[in-house]
């Protein structure tokens, strides 16, 4: 129903209501018919369901099965650590998910607890949940609108709709009929929307919708229907787990068959195959990923980016497009006078220099002085409780300008006391105040430029300059003056607002954040497109976008919500590829834009602070809410909250997300390369007629020791210098993409063949070859941990000690292996022998060879091409 097109009488008739309101009986009937004026909470999963979901990942299932098998055959030393890792991972995941989304609860809180309603001609307070369509509701300054209303009468009523529509300035309301059926919400000035806040005046409206039928309720419905997409890492690890499990199964079956054919004992081959399967799986991966994300989240919090869901940390690395709200995100979320135009000359507010006038000196010889004086005298702002100004945001901006010019409001009010006024109304779009000025009277008038120009004689240069200001997105306020010998007997618009002398124009806007332009440029250098989606006017949005570098004069013009509604199905996806600014859009349209971008393969981050942003925040791959100005609904729908509301913080968060993702890849490459070396060694030895190089217990110790401390230390690898000059991580990039699969196989093969040579040497020389191979695999893995820090840059260039946790982890791992080799009781457990200097020298030579061949391979690679880590 287009309620804004109906007259007040038609609206009351349509709702079967009257100026005296509903009767108690009729209200009770309608409450039964329409239901309570509440927004139902989204039903969440039970705690048990959340806990059970932590064990459904394929890699986790493989680990659990492996642990059970290991326990059944008596290898508790391996089973217990695996189960412990699985449980720690599940506990962390459960804790994160159990802190369920609070979006709909926040929406309920915003609706208000009570409402002032007229029933049977009597004004009474009732719970807001009991409102029904047809009720007459009174709204006044400070109250939250409890339902959607068609306004019946208004008295200077202004409502802050920023949280719903994105418009920064409060909207002045009226009760007159609007004829355009397709008006966006922000332009339906005869309507009041649930959840918005009355900031000035009062009004009465008839309830047109309650509960989920309200505009706020529609947003709640979108939120309840939304499904969070899986993160890139979750998708990649799921694919990785499937491929890895299949490969491991095939290798173990082949190894078991070859061993049996060679006459190896059945039990030994069974234990070896199972042990190799366990060793091939990087069982530390879930813990390493979770810990890396947790450390990253802590680091981001120190940089004012609070992560609500851990996977969001790595999601940032794949972002290709940021859809950002304007108000409070890119701008300061406060009105500010930026320019003043007098006699056709545009002056920046910071360049204004005037002297406060004496009572007898307020004359037209200095229009700028009079304009500044009018800005503070024709103004109803008052000091607030905290010392800040309270009142209409536009008037606060004018008062702030005057005080910055040295015109204190309290001093001017004493010099030019107000003796009469014509209050502002939406029909005249003017406000006039009368003040004593020496022995005479001066009237100061402010209002829309059109209204001021129609009652004065502005020079053409001033009109042209003011039009240019408006074209640049500034809200223009005109000023005029008239001098009187005495106060008019009848103060009416016809007598008091005629024959005015034009003073000039003030240009007001919500200014961009100083750091936003640099942040936008950094996003561009990182291959990330920035798109503005706002509920504000197109001219304002375009001006802000161009000043920040989001859009240029060569880009397509801003698209409005009304134009989006007229697009044919499928046209939005094509339009989304070129458009950088969307203005006057509805909440559902924000969601459509994000969906269209995702349909084009974009990986979307959505920033915002209002209720209207919540569905898109939830739908995007990562939603980023403003922590200071953001509503609870926006924060609840977002995966990350900016504690300082600083758009530039997003850039730092993206860099951290990229660093963490690449470090997780480093661990995976390190672990799989090392495991591949072990598999090649154990697989090829029987084929070449050599005995099994390792015992099952040694394989398990090798994997557990080397994947724990060094693996975690790799997540502390610092960001590379060119990290933010690289394009986003492609959506379809797999774990083995960018040459990582080839690198794993070839380096694993080198590691395994070197181990075979060491085994053959030990057998030929009578040295304890099995302990040599065992120790070699530990040291070669430490060499591999150093190599994977960069697959193309020399270790000397990146600095051996630039990752101190890794050096400490390598030292600890080597010490633990020496304990296993040289302590008698550990020798019994792991069936090892002490190594003399010849055996140690051979082991060190093999590990050094891995380091040297890796550096040589990097050198050749740098000659040919560079691949991203």
Q: Of 562, 575, 715, 614, nearest to 101 (Cα)?
A: 614
Q: Is the dihedral of CA 862, 864, 867, 869 positive or negative?
A: negative
325 in catalytic set: yes
Residue 159's alpha-carbon distances to 192, 198, 205, in angstroms, are 8, 4, 13
- Between CA 326 and CA 645 the distance in angstroms is 12
Burial class (CB in 10 A: 0-12, 13-18, 19+), 121: exposed
- Neighbour count for residue 204 (Cβ, 10 Å): 21
Please, what's the b/e burial string for 365-386 (b: 16 or more CB within 10 A of its CB; e: otherwise)? Answer: ebbbbbbbbbbbbbbbbeeeee
Instruction: Give the C-alpha distances (Å, rounded to integers) separating 453 from 458, 503, 568.
Output: 6, 10, 42
Residues in CB range of 722: below 8 A, 6 or more apart = none
Query: What does the DSSP assignment read for 6-44?
Result: S-HHHHHHHTT--TT-B-HHHHHHHHHHH--S--PPPPP
Q: If you count DSSP H runs as helices and E runs as strands, how many of each does the chain have, helices first? A: 33, 24
How far apart are the C-alpha atoms of 44 and 50, rounded to whole Å? 10
Pair 711, 779: CB distance under 8 Å: no
> 280 with 682: CB under 8 angstroms?
no
The CA distance from 806 to 797, in Å, is 16
The two tokens of residue 820 are: 């296993």
Which residue spans within 185-226 are E strands per DSSP? 191-192, 197-209
Helix (H) or strand (E) holding 855: helix 837-864
Contact 612, 163 (CB under 8 A): yes
What SS3 string covers 305-351? EEECCCCHHHHHHHCCEEEECCCCCCECCCCEEEEEEECCEEEEHHH
Among 305, 602, 353, 344, CA closest to 468: 344
Catalytic option among 75, 78, 187, 325: 325
Integer CA distances (angstroms), 598 to 125, 140, 226, 356, 848, in order: 47, 42, 14, 57, 48
Catalytically active residues, by annotation: 325
């Amino acid at each position: 129903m287009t309620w804004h097109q109906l007259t007040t009488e038609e609206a009351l008739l349509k709702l079967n209501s009257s100026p005296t309101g509903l009767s108690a009986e009729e209200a009770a009937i309608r409450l039964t018919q329409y239901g309570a004026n509440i927004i139902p909470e989204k039903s969440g999963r039970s705690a048990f369901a959340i806990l059970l979901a932590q064990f459904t990942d394929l890699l986790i299932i493989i680990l659990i099965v492996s642990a059970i098998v290991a326990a059944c055959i008596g290898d508790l030393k391996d089973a217990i650590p695996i189960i412990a890792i699985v449980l720690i991972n599940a506990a962390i995941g459960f804790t994160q998910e159990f802190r369920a989304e609070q979006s709909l609860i926040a929406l309920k809180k915003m609706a208000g607890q009570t409402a002032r309603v007229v029933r049977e001609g009597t004004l009474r307070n009732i719970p807001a949940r009991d409102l029904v369509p047809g009720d007459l509701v009174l709204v006044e300054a400070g109250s939250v609108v409890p339902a959607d209303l068609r306004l019946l009468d208004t008295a200077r009523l202004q409502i802050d709709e920023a949280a719903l529509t994105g418009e920064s300035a409060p909207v002045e309301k009226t009760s007159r009929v609007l004829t355009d059926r397709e008006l966006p919400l922000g332009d339906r000035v005869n309507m009041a929307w649930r959840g918005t806040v009355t900031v000035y005046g009062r009004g009465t409206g008839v309830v047109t919708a309650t509960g989920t039928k309200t505009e706020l309720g529609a947003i709640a419905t979108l939120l309840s229907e939304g499904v969070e997409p899986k993160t890139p890492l979750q998708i990649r690890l799921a694919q990785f787990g499937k491929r890895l499990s299949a490969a491991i199964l095939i290798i173990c079956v082949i190894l078991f068959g070859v061993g049996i054919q060679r006459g190896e004992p059945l039990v030994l081959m069974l234990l070896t195959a199972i042990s190799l399967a366990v060793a091939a799986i990087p069982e530390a991966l879930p813990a390493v990923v979770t810990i890396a994300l947790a450390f990253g989240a802590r680091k981001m919090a120190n940089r004012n980016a609070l992560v609500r869901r851990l996977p969001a940390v790595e999601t940032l690395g794949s972002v290709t497009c940021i859809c950002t709200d304007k108000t409070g995100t890119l701008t300061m979320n406060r009105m500010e006078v930026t320019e003043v135009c007098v006699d056709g000359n545009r002056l920046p507010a910071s360049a204004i220099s005037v002297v406060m006038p004496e009572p007898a000196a307020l004359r037209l010889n200095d229009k700028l002085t009079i304009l500044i004086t009018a800005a503070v005298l024709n103004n109803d702002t008052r000091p607030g409780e905290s010392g800040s100004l309270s009142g209409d945001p536009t008037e606060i901006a004018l008062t702030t300008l005057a005080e910055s010019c040295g015109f204190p409001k309290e001093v001017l009010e004493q010099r030019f006391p107000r003796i009469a006024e014509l209050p502002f109304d939406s029909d005249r779009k003017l406000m006039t105040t009368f003040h004593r000025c020496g022995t005479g009277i001066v009237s100061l008038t402010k209002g829309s430029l059109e209204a001021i120009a129609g009652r004065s004689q502005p020079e053409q240069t001033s009109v042209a300059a003011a039009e240019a200001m408006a074209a640049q997105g500034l809200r223009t306020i005109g000023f005029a003056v008239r001098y009187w010998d005495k106060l008019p007997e009848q103060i009416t618009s016809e007598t008091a607002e005629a024959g005015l002398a034009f003073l000039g124009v003030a240009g007001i806007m919500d200014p961009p954040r100083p750091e936003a332009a640099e942040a936008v440029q950094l996003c561009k250098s990182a291959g990330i497109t920035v798109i503005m989606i706002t509920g504000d006017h197109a001219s304002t949005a375009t001006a802000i976008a161009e000043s920040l570098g989001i859009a240029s004069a060569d880009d397509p013009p801003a698209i409005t919500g009304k134009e989006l509604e007229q697009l044919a199905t499928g046209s939005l996806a094509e339009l989304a590829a070129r458009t950088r600014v969307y203005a006057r859009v509805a909440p559902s349209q924000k969601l459509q834009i994000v969906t269209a971008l995702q349909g084009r393969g974009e990986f979307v981050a959505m920033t915002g602070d209002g209720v209207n942003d919540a569905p898109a925040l939830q739908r995007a791959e990562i939603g980023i809410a403003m922590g200071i100005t953001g509503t609870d609904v926006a924060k609840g729908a977002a995966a990350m909250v900016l504690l300082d509301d600083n758009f530039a913080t997003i850039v730092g968060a993206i860099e951290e997300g990229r660093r963490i993702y690449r470090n997780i890849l480093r661990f995976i490459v390190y672990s799989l390369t090392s495991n591949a070396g072990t598999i090649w060694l154990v697989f090829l030895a029987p084929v070449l007629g050599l005995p099994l190089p390792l015992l099952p217990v040694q394989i398990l110790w090798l994997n557990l020791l080397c994947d724990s401390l060094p693996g975690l230390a790799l997540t502390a690898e610092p960001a590379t210098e060119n990290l933010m000059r690289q394009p986003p991580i492609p959506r379809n990039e797999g774990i083995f993409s960018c040459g990582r699969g080839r690198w794993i196989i070839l380096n694993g093969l080198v590691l395994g063949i070197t181990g075979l040579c060491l085994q053959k040497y030990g057998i030929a020389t009578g040295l304890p070859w099995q302990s040599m191979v065992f120790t070699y695999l530990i040291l070669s893995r430490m060499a591999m941990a150093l190599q994977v820090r960069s697959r193309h840059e020399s270790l000397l260039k990146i600095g051996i000690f630039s990752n101190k946790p890794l050096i400490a982890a390598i030292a600890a791992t080597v010490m633990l292996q020496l304990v296993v080799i040289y302590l008698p009781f550990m020798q019994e457990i792991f069936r090892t022998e002490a190594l003399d200097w010849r055996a140690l020298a051979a082991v060190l030579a093999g590990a050094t060879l891995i380091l040297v061949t890796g550096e040589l391979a990097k050198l050749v690679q740098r000659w040919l091409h560079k691949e991203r880590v």
